Amino acid sequence: MNVIAQLIKTPCTFLTKVPFDVTFQKVIDSWKLFCNGSKFSIQINAIFSVHSIKKNHIILYNRNGQENALLLCFINGRYMNLVIPNYDLNQTCVAIWFTP
């Protein structure tokens, strides 16, 4: 958890608005489908392809107007999902952090 806390305090590597607003469970279910070979839009496939890289990273899914944000993490060889207080980004977006 310390790695995650330190990493999200740094500027993100990538930030993009996304044209979808789905539940956190839908994101997690879609990730599982992607792992089993399902294909999605180019943007979603790219985000999930990043998540499949075995290098420490965090993908934040921020839903505009919601109290919480979802972190899809790969830290020290382990995938984990966390819900944290929403970032004040005023948009539905995805942000990505990689360890240097």
On whether the pTM is more than 0.85, the answer is yes
- pLDDT value of position 92: 82
Handedness of CA 19, 27, 23, 59 (dihedral sign): negative
Mean pLDDT split into 10-residue runs, the chain, 100 residues: 86 86 91 95 92 93 86 95 81 82
For 36-47, the pLDDT digits (tens) are: 999 999 989 999
- Containing H/E element for 68? strand 68-75
Cα–Cα distances in angstroms (integers) from residue 64 to residues 20, 44, 53, 89, 96, in the given order? 11, 18, 27, 8, 17
CATH topology (fold) of 2-98: Hypothetical Protein Yjia; Chain: A;domain 2 (3.30.1220)
